[in-house]
Amino acid sequence: MSERPARPAKVIKLNVINEPKDSYTGGPSSLCPGCGHDQISNVIIAAAWENGIEPHRIAKMSGIGCSSKTPAYYLGQSHGFNTVHGRMPSVTTGAYTVNKDLLYLGVSGDGDSASIGIGQLIHAIRRNVDMVYILENNGVYGLTKGQYSATADIGSKKKKGAVNETQPIDLCALAINLGCTFVARSFSGSKKQLKSLVKAAMSHKGFALIDVISPCVTFNNNDESLRSYGYVKDNNVTLHIADYIPNRAPMEEIEVPEGHYRDITLHDGSVIRLETISEDHDPTNAVAGLSALHAAEAEAKHVTGLLYYDGNKPSLIEDLGLVDSPLIDVADTDLRPSRETLDKLNAAFLS
Amino acid sequence: MPTIANDFTINIATANGTGSQSANLILLQSMFEMGIPVSGKNMFPSNISGLPTWYIVRLSDHGYQAPGDRTHIQVLVNPATWDEDLAALESGSVVIWNSDAKKEMNREDIISYPVPMSSLARKINPKIAKLVTNIVYVGILAEMLGIDQDALVSALSKQFKGKEKAIELNLTALGLGRDYFKDNLPKEDPYVVEPREQSTAKFFIDGNEATALGCHFGGVQMLAWYPITPSSGIAEAIIEYIPQIRTNDDGEATCAVIQAEDELAAAGMVIGAGWAGGRGMTATSGPGISLMQEFIGLAYFAEVPSVFWDVNRVGPSTGLPTRTQQSDISMLYEGSHGDTQHIVLIPGTVEECFEFGWRALDYSERFQTPVFGLSDLDLGMNRWDCEGFTYPDQDMDRGKVVRDREVFEAFEDFGRYLDVDGDGIPYRTLPGSGMDPILYRGTGHDTKGVYSEKPQDYVDLMARLKRKINNAREILPAPLLREEIECEVGVIYLGSMENTIQEIDDILEETGMKVSQCRVRALPMSSQVEDFIRRHETTIVLEINRDGQLWGILRKELPNDLVTKIHSVAYSDGQPPRARIYSDLIMAKLEEVKQ
């Protein structure tokens, strides 16, 4: 009797530091099914794993909002801090100042970063805090059920209420003007592009902003009654129940070749036009980055890719004149000046 | 004429931005160097240049440091407040006035010393005549009161450390003042200074600098701050001392400083540093604490060490930004929304500013909670005598941090918020350590730090937090008691009132009553405060505010039978406490209680 060939053992892929991908995953997501934010979480997991970063050397930072809840859903072996609304940059700055050796991975939303937190975002960029700042941008306040945020496009119409007539804030343009050392825009459905940007940002020394368009599946910032007439017609019973959250499949992966654009149909049937910046774009040229943003805006497109990059600017820690080792590793006896030092001070005061 | 030695008050009225502060400090320091018990108060405006400023120098062999009840010697330089200052003087007071100021001297019942201060100053250097005017009146006072030239020269060189030109110019101006008095003004007043032997060597320092040094001896690793009067002096002194006492041989520092974009960011940075395992602090005043409220709640609920120094100024709102008050007590004790309770350390002397500077950092890590230092403008920005700072009597207390994997493995069950030994303080691990990572959060959580809205999880967490802070009562600095055996009237007070309390006590005891003192030095309060109230027939809670905030806290925490034994005397006009005002209020309150 011939032996049946042994079933091949299940192969667990390891990264360069011999960690399986499971070491980088987190708890189950409690976001709406199909949310673009979950796709970003998966990209973060993949990027950290592929970059071979020790999970415990990452610090997950966030503010308040749907996006800021996501650190619970990735990197379960990393410490994290879900802080207060829009003020994650300052908490990160403080942590980074005393422990420069961690990879600070901030996740924020447009409600968090473009309104209450815009000052802290600006000042973290200005100081060039060494961190990755992923902005999960959907133009809407999800947790409070669908109010416009400061990045909502003019002409957007939410389920209930008026058309947004207020000029949106383009955080990438703002960041380039502030001299941010790494500015990119991407789309939650463009896994390949997003992952390469996140991996690059993780390796960057300085402040890296990635503004990720991540459409809200529940409170889309688009006019359902006009743009997804058919959907509403077919589902009119359930869609008018305010607390019903539709169960949707995640966006299919979309990769737009460099220099091209493509129209993407969102869950509600609305369309956004994504353009990938051409390979001729010089990311070290801030004016070129701004031009690309303005040209895209004029044509109602969202331009994605690495818009601006400056690898030479010193990061905050280099400006602080500190000892080589992270401050938290300095021994207590080296932190507290000696008894002789105090004796000398007292004597000098008395003289 | 009998002389009056070392027992009078000088009031110097100038405009700010004219350099008068340096001249006034030289005057103060010179008398201090003669061994005379002297104190100085700077009453300055929230302004850069041109508004009225008064400097009050009190000499008192009793050691009284409050501004006196009246002015004995008035120096009039500022025309803007001339009439008001003059009108306020009691008959027989001395007025040294700038006769170049084009103002009238319309009082006949005072001792008048006209001095052409501006012309004298112009003789030296017309370009900086305003600046020199100030030193001219110091020269006049020196001659009139008999201040030693050696003491003046020493004070001058301390003020202008090594700047020979400035020292020379000021010496000339001093001489001009002295000569003018000698040659033109026969002494008609009784006031003189007499040197005293100091039993112990002392120096002058302000509370903010003392606090800053204390923080350095507490090994502070990160200061994040936003400029605000009257607290900026703490941050500036911390920065100033880093090169001297916080750098290695290569000039690399062990303390980082970030000037934040606002107080909210400063608070966030402090909490970030604490979360990462470092010692972070900020220094601010009431308006800054108002802005930090949200973060304070986060630090309390997520249990993150963080130190906040509040140098109290007059509120509410922008209030009187350059005046003193004790009005942030409730805000600090119960800061942020929801049920909270915080540790507050309240120094009353510059020595305590230093001590509580390092202790705050220890307590914050030990109890894993925000700790506040509550100073005030009077203590923080005025100079007080100091016998020297005492080196910390214990190693830095880093609290319950699990740093070794072996220790971590020994835990049967590890939870970031699990109280394993009953003191309400759980163990924590640090980011980067690889041990038991959690996502810190301001949302409800269970003992593992996992999000929870379960009723019992919330109740248990809130009860533990209460127990944790309550357990600090007997560990924090105990109240300072000075008791009479009769236990008649007790006075509970706090902070910079320390510098006025003895004078108040003496005034009250002149009426025959026996007065005991209890200075609260920390919140939550020790049971010794309750015992003090129980022992005394009547207790007054004395505060520099309107509403009796400490009294309110006591009423909430004391057993019912003691609540009626405490009575509030609270008053604030922005000025450092003058003894007579408060002793009168205490007597009126005692009278009211008797009825």
Percent of chain A whose predicted confidence (pLDDT) is above 90: 64
Per-residue model confidence (pLDDT) at position B540: 98
Query: DSSP assignment, residue B253?
Result: B
Taking an 8 Å cut-off on Cβ atoms, the answer to whether B271 and A334 are in contact is no
Question: pLDDT class for A240, splitting at 50, 70, 90?
Answer: very low
Residues of chain B with CATH 3.40.50.920: 480-594
Contacts of A60 in chain B (CB under 8 A): 439
Q: In which residue are the tokens 């004070």 written?
A: B155
Q: What is d(CA A160, CA A153) in angstroms, rounded to the nearest whole number?
A: 16
Residue type, A28: P
Q: What is d(CA B270, CA A81) in angstroms, rounded to the nearest whole number?
A: 14
Taking an 8 Å cut-off on Cβ atoms, the answer to whether B268 and A90 are in contact is yes
Q: In which residue are the tokens 């003392």 written?
A: B210
Per-residue model confidence (pLDDT) at position B230: 97
* Inter-residue contact B149 to B30 (CB < 8 Å): no
Taking an 8 Å cut-off on Cβ atoms, the answer to whether B432 and A59 are in contact is yes
Please state which of the four CATH numbers 3.90.78.10, 3.40.920.10, 1.10.357.10, 3.40.190.10 is assigned to the domain occupying B4-192: 3.40.920.10
Res A159 pLDDT > 70 = no
3-class secondary structure per residue, chain A: CCCCCCCCCCCCCECCCCCEHHHHECCCCCCCCCCHHHHHHHHHHHHHHHHCCCHHHEEEEECCCHHHHHHHHECCCCEEEECCCCCHHHHHHHHHHHCCCCEEEEEEEHHHHHHHCHHHHHHHHHHCCCEEEEEEECCEECCCCCEECCCCCCCCECCCCCECCCCCCCHHHHHHHCCCCEEEEEECCCHHHHHHHHHHHHHCCCEEEEEEECCCCCCCCCCHHHHCHHHHHHCHHHHCCCCCCCCCCCCCCCCCCCCCEEEEECCCCCEEEEEECCCCCCCCCHHHHHHHHHHHHHCCCEEEEEEEECCCCCCHHHHCCECCCCHHHCCHHHHCCCHHHHHHHHHHHHC
Nearest to B217 among A84, A320, A337 (CB): A337
Taking an 8 Å cut-off on Cβ atoms, the answer to whether A99 and B264 are in contact is no
Q: Looking at the complex, does the CB of residue A323 fall below 8 Å from at least one CB of chain B?
A: yes
Per-residue model confidence (pLDDT) at position A267: 65
Q: Taking all residues of chain B, what is their mean pLDDT, rounded to a whole number?
A: 96
Q: In which residue are the tokens 């090169």 written?
A: B243
Which residue in chain B is spatially nearest to A68 when comparing CA positions?
B441
Taking an 8 Å cut-off on Cβ atoms, the answer to whether A349 and B431 are in contact is no
Q: What is d(CA B391, CA B59) in angstroms, rounded to the nearest whole number?
A: 31
Nearest to A328 among B217, B276, B439 (CB): B276
Window 213-232 of B, Cβ < 8 Å to A: 213, 216-219, 221-222, 224
Rounded to a whole number of angstroms, the distance from the CA of A314 to the nearest CA of chain B is 16
Per-residue model confidence (pLDDT) at position A160: 63
Question: pLDDT class for B36, splitting at 50, 70, 90?
Answer: very high
* Inter-residue contact B388 to A346 (CB < 8 Å): yes
Which residue in chain A is spatially nearest to B437 when comparing CA positions?
A79
Question: pLDDT class for A205, splitting at 50, 70, 90?
Answer: very high
Let me know if domain B480-594 sits in CATH 3.40.640.10.
Answer: no
Q: A146 — alpha (psi -120 to 50), left (phi > 0) or beta?
A: left
Residue B279, both tokens:
């010692």
Helix B149-159 / helix B20-33 crossing angle, nearest 10 deg:
130
Q: What is the sign of the dihedral through the CA atoms of B230, B233, B238 and B239?
A: positive
* Inter-residue contact A95 to B273 (CB < 8 Å): yes
Question: pLDDT class for A149, splitting at 50, 70, 90?
Answer: confident
**Strand locations in B49-154, DSSP E?**
52-60, 73-76, 94-98, 111-115
Average pLDDT of the segment spanning B389-399: 98
More confident residue, B402 or B18: B402
- A and B: number of Cβ contacts within 8 A: 203
In this structure, the strands spanning A271-276 and A302-309 are parallel
Nearest to B440 among A76, A81, A90 (CB): A81
Rounded to a whole number of angstroms, the distance from the CA of A61 to the nearest CA of chain B is 9
H or E element, residue B222: strand B222-225
Per-residue model confidence (pLDDT) at position A244: 52
Res A7 pLDDT > 80 = no
Distances (CA, A) of A234 to A33, A238, A239, B154, B327: 20, 10, 10, 92, 63
Residues of chain B with CATH 3.40.920.10: 4-192
Q: Looking at the complex, does the CB of residue A77 fall below 8 Å from at least one CB of chain B?
A: yes
Cα end-to-end distance, chain B, whole Å? 47
Average pLDDT of the segment spanning B165-189: 95
Which residue in chain B is spatially nearest to A316 when comparing CA positions?
B258
Question: pLDDT class for A230, splitting at 50, 70, 90?
Answer: very low
Q: What is d(CA B25, CA B28) in angstroms, rounded to the nearest whole number?
A: 5
Q: Looking at the complex, does the CB of residue A337 fall below 8 Å from at least one CB of chain B?
A: yes
| Burial classification of residue B519, based on how many CB atoms lie within 10 Å of its CB (0-12 exposed, 13-18 middle, 19 or more buried) | buried
**Cα angle vertex B476, ends B327, B539, to 5°?**
55
Question: pLDDT class for B564, splitting at 50, 70, 90?
Answer: very high
Q: What is the sign of the dihedral through the CA atoms of B179, B183, B185 and B190?
A: positive
Q: Looking at the complex, does the CB of residue A82 fall below 8 Å from at least one CB of chain B?
A: yes
Q: Which of A53, A56, A79 to mutate to test the interface with B (most CBs of B within 10 A)?
A: A79
Contacts of B268 in chain A (CB under 8 A): 83-84, 87, 89-91, 93-94, 120
Per-residue model confidence (pLDDT) at position A246: 55
Rounded to a whole number of angstroms, the distance from the CA of A217 to the nearest CA of chain B is 24
Give the 3-state secondary structure of residue B340.
coil
Average pLDDT of the segment spanning B375-393: 96
Which residue in chain B is spatially nearest to A75 when comparing CA positions?
B437
| Burial classification of residue B506, based on how many CB atoms lie within 10 Å of its CB (0-12 exposed, 13-18 middle, 19 or more buried) | middle
* Inter-residue contact B364 to B217 (CB < 8 Å): no
Average pLDDT of the segment spanning B540-558: 98
Res B474 pLDDT > 50 = yes
Taking an 8 Å cut-off on Cβ atoms, the answer to whether A95 and B431 are in contact is yes
Taking an 8 Å cut-off on Cβ atoms, the answer to whether B389 and A345 are in contact is yes
Query: Mind listing the pLDDT tens digit for each residue in B199-226?
Result: 788 999 999 999 999 999 999 999 999 9
Q: What is d(CA B153, CA B148) in angstroms, rounded to the nearest whole number?
A: 9
Taking an 8 Å cut-off on Cβ atoms, the answer to whether A119 and B261 are in contact is yes
* Other C-beta atoms lying within 10 Å of the C-beta of residue B457: 17
Taking an 8 Å cut-off on Cβ atoms, the answer to whether B431 and A59 are in contact is yes
Window 117-146 of A, Cβ < 8 Å to B: 119-120, 122-123, 127
Contacts of B392 in chain A (CB under 8 A): 336
Which residue in chain B is spatially nearest to A328 when comparing CA positions?
B278
Window 389-448 of B, Cβ < 8 Å to A: 389, 391-392, 395-396, 398, 429-434, 437-443
Distance of CA B362 to the CA centre of its chain: 21
Give pTM, 2 decimals.
0.94
What DSSP string describes B62-79?
T---SPPSS-SEEEE--G
Q: What is d(CA B256, CA B260) in angstroms, rounded to the nearest whole number?
A: 12
Q: What is d(CA B140, CA B176) in angstroms, rounded to the nearest whole number?
A: 8
Contacts of A127 in chain B (CB under 8 A): 258
Res B553 pLDDT > 70 = yes
Average pLDDT of the segment spanning B432-451: 94
Nearest to A98 among B222, B386, B451 (CB): B222
Res A45 pLDDT > 70 = yes
Q: What is the sign of the dihedral through the CA atoms of B315, B320, B321 and B326?
A: negative
Candidate from A229-233, B83-87, B107-111, B319-323 with smallest mean pLDDT: A229-233
**Strand locations in B116-221, DSSP E?**
191-192, 203-206
Distances (CA, A) of A107 to A53, A73, A140, B339: 18, 12, 16, 29
Taking an 8 Å cut-off on Cβ atoms, the answer to whether A321 and B274 are in contact is no
Q: Is the peptide bond before A5 cis (omega within 30 degrees of 0)?
A: no
* Inter-residue contact B22 to B84 (CB < 8 Å): no
Average pLDDT of the segment spanning B41-57: 90
Which residue in chain B is spatially nearest to A336 when comparing CA positions?
B219
Phi, psi of B202 (to 5 degrees): -135, 160
Contacts of B265 in chain A (CB under 8 A): 87, 89-90, 93, 119-120, 123
Rounded to a whole number of angstroms, the distance from the CA of A346 to the nearest CA of chain B is 6
Residue A176, both tokens:
């380039």
Nearest to A87 among B268, B396, B439 (CB): B268
Query: Mind listing the pLDDT tens digit for each residue in A278-317?
Result: 888 999 999 999 999 999 988 888 899 999 999 899 999 9
> ipTM for the complex?
0.94
Instruction: Give the gyration radius of chain B's Cα atoms.
Output: 26
Q: What is d(CA B306, CA B372) in angstroms, rounded to the nearest whole number?
A: 9
Per-residue model confidence (pLDDT) at position A299: 86
Q: What is the sign of the dihedral through the CA atoms of B69, B74, B77 and B83?
A: positive
**Cα angle vertex B393, ends B392, B395, to 5°?**
80
Contacts of B248 in chain A (CB under 8 A): 323, 334
Within 13 Å and on the Cβ side, how many CA atoms surround A90? 31
**Strand locations in B431-533, DSSP E?**
439-441, 480-482, 489-494, 515-520, 522-523
Which of these, B570, B574, B490, B486, lies nearest to B530 by C-alpha position? B490
Residues of chain B with CATH 3.40.50.970: 206-386
Q: What is d(CA B74, CA B5) in angstroms, rounded to the nearest whole number?
A: 17
Rounded to a whole number of angstroms, the distance from the CA of A192 to the nearest CA of chain B is 28
Question: Which domains, and CATH codes, for chain A?
Answer: 21-319 (3.40.50.970)
Q: What is d(CA B309, CA B322) in angstroms, rounded to the nearest whole number?
A: 17
Query: Mind listing the pLDDT tens digit for each residue in B265-304?
Result: 999 999 999 999 999 999 999 999 999 999 999 999 999 9
Contacts of A334 in chain B (CB under 8 A): 248, 254
Per-residue model confidence (pLDDT) at position A2: 56
Q: In which residue are the tokens 């416009």 written?
A: A148
Average pLDDT of the segment spanning B364-386: 97
Q: Which of A82, A96, A98 to mutate to test the interface with B (most CBs of B within 10 A)?
A: A98
Q: Which of B32, B221, B263 to mutate to test the interface with A (most CBs of A within 10 A)?
A: B221
Contacts of B224 in chain A (CB under 8 A): 90, 93-94
Which residue in chain B is spatially nearest to A126 when comparing CA positions?
B261
Give the 3-state secondary structure of residue B198.
coil
| Burial classification of residue A128, based on how many CB atoms lie within 10 Å of its CB (0-12 exposed, 13-18 middle, 19 or more buried) | buried
Contacts of A339 in chain B (CB under 8 A): 391
Q: In which residue are the tokens 């990438």 written?
A: A172
Per-residue model confidence (pLDDT) at position A238: 30
* Other C-beta atoms lying within 10 Å of the C-beta of residue A214: 28
* B206-386: CATH number: 3.40.50.970
Q: Looking at the complex, does the CB of residue A17 fall below 8 Å from at least one CB of chain B?
A: no
Per-residue model confidence (pLDDT) at position A268: 64
Which residue in chain A is spatially nearest to B248 when comparing CA positions?
A323
Q: Looking at the complex, does the CB of residue A94 fall below 8 Å from at least one CB of chain B?
A: yes
Give the 3-state secondary structure of residue B400.
coil
Res A322 pLDDT > 60 = yes
